[in-house]
Amino acid sequence: MKKQNQKLWDKGVAVDKWVEQFTVGEDRKLDIHLAKHDVLGSIAHIIMLQSIGLLSEEELSLLKNGLAVIYDDIVQGHFSIKNGVEDVHSQVELLLTEKLGDVGKKIHSGRSRNDQVLLDMRLFIREQIQLICKNIQGLFDELIHLSEKNKEVLLPGYTHLQIAMPSSFGLWFAAYAESLVDDLLQLQAAYKIINKNPLGSAAGYGSSFPLNRTMTTKLLGFDDLNYNVVYAQMGRGKSERVVSQAMASVAETIGKMAMDITLFMSQNFGFVSFPDALVTGSSIMPHKKNPDLFEILRGRCNRLKALPNQIMMMTANLPSGYHRDLQLIKENFLPALFELIDCVKILHFALKEIRVNKTILDDPKYANLFTVEAVNELVMQGVPFRDAYKQIGEKVETGHFVQPEKTNYSHEGSIGNHCNDQIKSAMDGVMKSFNFSKNQKVLLKLLGKDHPGF
Per-residue pLDDT tens for 34-89? Answer: 999 999 999 999 999 999 999 999 999 999 999 999 999 999 999 998 887 888 99
Neighbouring C-beta atoms of residue 449, cutoff 10 Å: 8
Q: What is the mean pLDDT of residues 152-178?
A: 94
Residue 1 has what pLDDT?
A: 38
Q: What is the pLDDT of residue 75?
A: 93
What is the mean pLDDT of the segment spanning 319-345? Answer: 92
Task: With a cut of 50, say whether residue 334 has pLDDT above it.
Answer: yes
- 404 or 156, higher pLDDT: 156
Average pLDDT rounded to a whole number, residues 29-36: 90
pLDDT grade, residue 16 (50/70/90)?
low
- pLDDT range class, residue 13, cuts 50, 70, 90: low
Give the pLDDT confidence of 118-139 residue by residue, as tens digits: 999 999 999 999 999 999 999 9
- Confidence at residue 18, expressed as pLDDT on a 0 to 100 scale: 62
pLDDT in tens, 234-286: 999 999 999 999 999 999 999 999 999 999 999 999 999 999 998 887 667 77
pLDDT of amino acid 24: 59
Given a cut of 50, whether residue 9 has pLDDT beyond it is no
Q: Would you say residue 432 has pLDDT above 80?
A: yes
8 A C-beta contact, residue 153 and residue 169 = yes
Most confident among 167-176, 367-376, 433-442 (mean pLDDT):
167-176
- The pLDDT value recorded for residue 282 is 64
SS (H, E, C) the chain: CCCCCCCCCCCCCCCCHHHHHHHHCCHHHHHHHHHHHHHHHHHHHHHHHHHCCCCCHHHHHHHHHHHHHHHHHHHCCCCCCCCCCCCHHHHHHHHHHHHHCHHHHHHHCCCCHHHHHHHHHHHHHHHHHHHHHHHHHHHHHHHHHHHHHCCCCEEEEEECCEEEEEEEHHHHHHHHHHHHHHHHHHHHHHHHHHCEECCCCCCCCCCCCCCCHHHHHHHCCCCEECCCHHHHHHHHHHHHHHHHHHHHHHHHHHHHHHHHHHHHHCCCCCCEECCHHHCECCCCCCCCCECHHHHHHHHHHHHHHCHHHHHHHHHCCCCCCCCHHHHHHHHHHHHHHHHHHHHHHHHHHHHCCCEECCCHHHCHHHHHHHHHHHHHHHHHCCCCHHHHHHHHHHHHHHCCCCCCCCCCCCCCCECCECCHHHHHHHHHHHHHHHCHHHHHHHHHHHHCCCCCCC
Please state the rounded mean pLDDT for residues 143-165: 94
Using an 8 Å Cβ cutoff, are 140 and 177 in contact?
A: yes
Among candidate residues 84, 83, 99, 91, the one with its CA nearest the CA of residue 116? 91
Domains of the chain: 17-109 (1.10.275.10), 114-160+169-209+227-361+419-435 (1.20.200.10)
To the nearest whole percent, how much of the chain has pLDDT over 90?
73
Mean residue pLDDT of the chain comes to 90
CA nearest neighbour of 391 among 407, 409, 377: 377
Residue 449: predicted pLDDT: 63
275-330 pLDDT, tens digit per residue, is 999 888 766 777 778 899 999 999 999 999 999 999 999 888 888 888 888 888 99
Amino acid 12: pLDDT: 58
Higher confidence at residue 182 or residue 439? Answer: 182
Within 10 angstroms of residue 192's Cβ, the number of other Cβ atoms is 14
Interval 199-239: pLDDT, tens = 999 999 999 999 999 999 999 999 999 999 999 999 999 99
pLDDT band per the 50, 70, 90 thresholds, residue 450: low
